[in-house]
Structure 1
Amino acid sequence: MNIRRSAATLAAATVVLGAAVPAVAATPSPTPTVAIPEGLYGTADPTYDGVWRQSLALLAQRTTGVTPAAGAVAWLTGQQCANGAFAAFRADPAKACDAKLMVDTNSTAAAVQALAALGGHGAATDKAVGWLKSVQNADGGWGYTPGGASDANSTSVVAGALAATGQQPSQVKKAGKSPNDALAKLALPCDDAAGGGAFAYQPDKKGALAANADATAAAVLGLLGKGFVTNAGKPSTAPHACGDSSAPLAPSELARNGSQYLASSVGGAGYLKSVLPGAQDQPDYGNTADAVVALAAQGWTEQARKPLAWLQQHSQAWAKQSGPAAYAQLIFAARAMGADPRHFGGADLVALLNATGPAPQAATKAAGADDDAAKSDKSESDSAVGVWWIVGVFLVAGVGIGLLLSGRGRKRRQP
């Protein structure tokens, strides 16, 4: 990238805009500095989140039974480099990718999840997954860029891409280490007064871990082998208390501990708060939506009801300002909880998302089949728990690279 910002500046931008963007991308500018390509969703500058927001938009459409415009899909596939990787945005896809182009794991993994859901793009997803495996770190995780230190958000979005293509993330290893091993190193012990059970984005320069709600939501999904789109897990009857043991914790236990942290964090006001000093009561919409998805995937739908209801009441202005990725995050939250995204707090999230880009095609039989499956999943969820899921999405640290908190978005999250 040719623009870098400090962690504080990027975190501030995240709180103000709240949009889900890739892990190290700066928040998109309201006034584009580049022309918006035909087929791309959203009107903000796509330099740092074009592939991310397009991927989330297409995935959200597909999961709601909408067949995206052919031009929108073509734009995304046209962004892929010959080696399988994706950059945040390529203004001239006809120009071959070179060493100066910064490709990243978040954009690539998000594109994989979208294209896998759309179907018919096996060659593209196979090549992308091959590239992701080639840049896996020796600790089993991934950083935002190849060779960068592993972080919870990037590791988890890649795990979601692996799962979307039918692979078991826990079986994808480098030097004998899997994504679960990398995430386990970022888990805070239960006796940590500031965030027991939570996950850090990355260790600080001294190796210390600090609780990060967005990283925690991402890690829960990664440990459960889930992507952006998931159904509610089986309701858990286990105690909702963070639990340590003398032996290394299993991925399921780490996910439960992270869920407990999220549940306690949203149990009061119903939303996650801004990390900015002096703005403790300022909501973080994107991270709250990510938390709903994670809690639902864990099977803790009761704990997710309050933040979902809060989003239904308060997120419309945020989503309108933030664009397609924000609408997608809300759709994922609704889907995970068995809620209808077409009747979300009085808003039709699907129609609002569709309006941010090229008009989608008429529903196809394949899309209808997916919609029927979604209704079936919803029915199963209703019978158990009732009806109610980069960066940004992520917070990334690295030499010369700014940080940004998501939603899930996380490139921070971005969000």
Structure 2
Amino acid sequence: MPLIPSWVDSANAPDCDFPLNNLPYGVFSLAEEEPRCGVAIGDMILDMAAAEEDGLIVLTDEPLFALPFWNDLMEQGPAVWAALRARLTALLARGAPDREAVEPLLVPLAEARLHLPFVVSEYTDFYAGRHHATNVGTMFRGAENALPPNWLHMPIGYNGRASSVVVSGTPVRRPWGQLKSADHDMPAFLPSRRFDFELELGAVVGTPSDGPLATAGAEAHIFGFVLLNDWSARDIQAWEYQPLGPFQAKATATSLSPWIVPKAALEPFRADTPAREVPLLDHLRDDGPGLFDIDLQVTLAPEGQPATTITRTNYREMYFSAAQQLAHHSTAGCPMNAGDLLGSGTISGPGKPERGSLLELSWGGEEPLTLDTGETRSFLQDGDTLTLTGHAQGDGYRIGFGACSGQVLPALKDPYRP
């Protein structure tokens, strides 16, 4: 699909994240105003609340956009999503008859404060990247036992904390927790020394479900996608995860990019899931290309220093798709709600520069990573800023997500001592 030209000139630049082909959904505010829904177009934001109030966008009998979240629109389902996308395209396309009415409703993106674009109902994180799972398993259990017996049969996941999901730009405080080293008999309560990032893509559930879904049916429930950094305290995790898995190691924060890229914008970039060496059960069976060709990048900037690109990979490296993750999540009858967030799991490729976490890049600290500044990193240091970016490359345009960034703040003093 070629670029759809817009009368918003900045949207037509080939390196713009937000062309008319994208139309991502966010929440913004100006100065002391209340947050409200907006759509990014070029270097501007269309004020959706104002457009609805002026009668330029009318989808239901009740207002949908004078709100600080997109959940109400998400609940309307695919037909309404498609109608909104068609209307926005008509309003913003080059030669649009309503340009004079729409133009005053545009806000410069540079002047806006961005917020979480939806209310996160629940958060589930998966472990569905084979390269990542193999690397981590090899470090901890040896190459012969890298993948647990169930891994090729279903997307493994755990229920995370919706309460600690934050928008890009929110600083992240180094956590305290129980640490247990091999040369000590007892654990100690200390700040994490092996704090890490995880490069992921988050799928946002739109249409609620009631009862089990198969992969084919699950696809229609997905509203869009965000970049996701699942901050991880590896030393806390190493002591706590047996036998039930991650808990406090993953509860500190999960950062999201501020724009939900609609699934419809990514349709031209479909990619196949990998060939299955173990057949999947019927309800998880692949139903056409379930992944997307999305180039991903991570930079690390020490405080006051320039950033170094430490990872380049692609979402097509995943083993299980978002639809398969959603289908598996529902198999026991678990209802899925509008605003449920599904983390893909760490996205790593086969080569060392494609690894999506410092745990892998430094091979558990044994091979420290050298930055462009000359400094080295095995894990994150205080003041470091991690930034995730990604885009799907089209013909003369790209579908971008904006940035997902966060700076590591020092741990607070011991919360249990006066």
User: Per residue, is there more strand in 1 or in 2?
Assistant: 2
Identify the TM-score tier after normalising by the shorter chain.
under 0.3
Question: Which of 1 and 2 has higher RCO (CA within 8 Å, sep 6+)?
Answer: 1
User: Per residue, is there more helix in 1 or in 2?
Assistant: 1
Q: TM-score, normalised by structure 1?
A: 0.24
Larger Rg belongs to: 2
